[in-house]
Structure 1
Amino acid sequence: MARILDKAAVQSLSSFNPAKSFTIRRSPQKSGIASIPIRIPVNSQPNRVDLVASVGVRGVKGIGQIRFRVFRGGTEIFNTQQGIESSGSEQNYVVTFQAEDFNVKAGTHAYTVTAENLAANTRVDVVGPITFSGLAVKVRPLNLKKKRLTKHS
């Protein structure tokens, strides 16, 4: 059984809205998408932080390759990549992903989602919605002792 330690969520754009869009920067620059704080109390080991992000994007030019990253403080803990097509094909996407962070030390930690476009001569805009949430839980240690199996006739 797990015990909830902390939770946080942000919804900076609640719907698809091209009027509030911004362009994802070309790598190695990064566009900040969302941040949340998660507090881990003392004596909360082992623990796990479950993170879920959804980002609405629109392909504007070419086929962009968007790398989404999740950071705890300045340390990258997760990344994923998504191709985004533009005009003449699919243009609007909601990219959703989940990351896990294990055995986080006590303290308050800033989790941040960023995006960067890896493909030259393409353009992808964030158009919403944007949501990012985290749930920290204390978990039971795994019992790694093997039980002897007995054969019953």
Structure 2
Amino acid sequence: MARILDKAAVQPRRSFNLATSFTIRRSPGRTRLATIRLRIPVSKSQPNRVELVATVGVRGVTGIAQILFRIFRDGREIFNTLQGIESTGSEQNYVVTFQAIDRNVRSGTHVYTVTAENRTANTRADVVGPISFSGLAVQTSS
């Protein structure tokens, strides 16, 4: 049985909106999408895990962009996934959702950040919304 230690969620954009879209930066630059903070209390006997879920609405503008989504804990990368985003002549609008699990996180307050970067030259992809990012810290049995 798991016991909830902390939870956090943000939704910087709640819907698809071309008028407020912004371009995903080209690698090695990164576009910060959302940040949450989770507190892990001191525990001597039980392991824990942090379950993280991110959803990002993306639109392909030119070419086939390869978007690298990353999750960082306290500035250190703990997860990444790559998503191809096509543009005109095919699908253009995507909702990308991914989940990561961070195990046995030390006690204290931790900052989790989700970012995106475009890995493909001469392409463009924009964030059009929605954006949401949530985390649930649970104490697990051994």
| Common fold by TM > 0.5 | yes
Deviation readout 1:53-92 (Å, 9 max, x if unpaired): 0000000000000000000011100000000000111000
1:95 is paired with a residue whose SS is strand
Alignment partner of 1:33 is 2:33:
yes
Distance 1:19 1:35 in 2: 23
SS in 2 for 1:129: strand
Query: What corresponds to 2:103 in structure 1?
Result: 102
Aligned counterpart, 1:63: 64
Structure 1 residue 32: deviation in Å? 0.2
CA separation in 2, counterparts of 1:125 and 1:73? Answer: 26
Kindly tell me the number of residue pairs found equivalent between the two proteins.
Answer: 141
1:2-151 equivalent positions in 2, closer than 5 A: 2-43=2-43, 45-141=46-142
Q: Secondary structure in 1 aligned to 2:19?
A: helix
Deviating above 6 A after TM superposition, structure 1's stretches of 4 or more consecutive aligned residues are: none
How many angstroms does 1:124 deviate by? 0.2
Deviation by residue 1:3-32 (Cα, 9 ceiling, x = unmatched)? 000000000100001111110000000000
Extract unaligned runs of 5+ from structure 2: none
Task: For 1:72 and 1:31, locate their aligned partners in 2 and report how far apart those are by CA, in whole Å.
Answer: 16
Cα separation, 2, equivalents of 1:14 and 1:5:
26
TM-score, scaled to structure 2 = 0.98
Q: Given the two structures, how large is their TM-score scaled by the length of structure 1?
A: 0.91
Q: CA RMSD in A?
A: 0.7
Question: Counterparts of 2:42 and 2:19 in 1: how far apart (Å)?
Answer: 44
Distance of 2:9 and 2:130 partners within structure 1? 14
| Structure of higher CA gyration radius | 1
Please state which structure has a larger fraction of its residues in strand. Answer: 2
Tell me whether 41-50 or 102-111 shows the greater mean CA deviation: 41-50
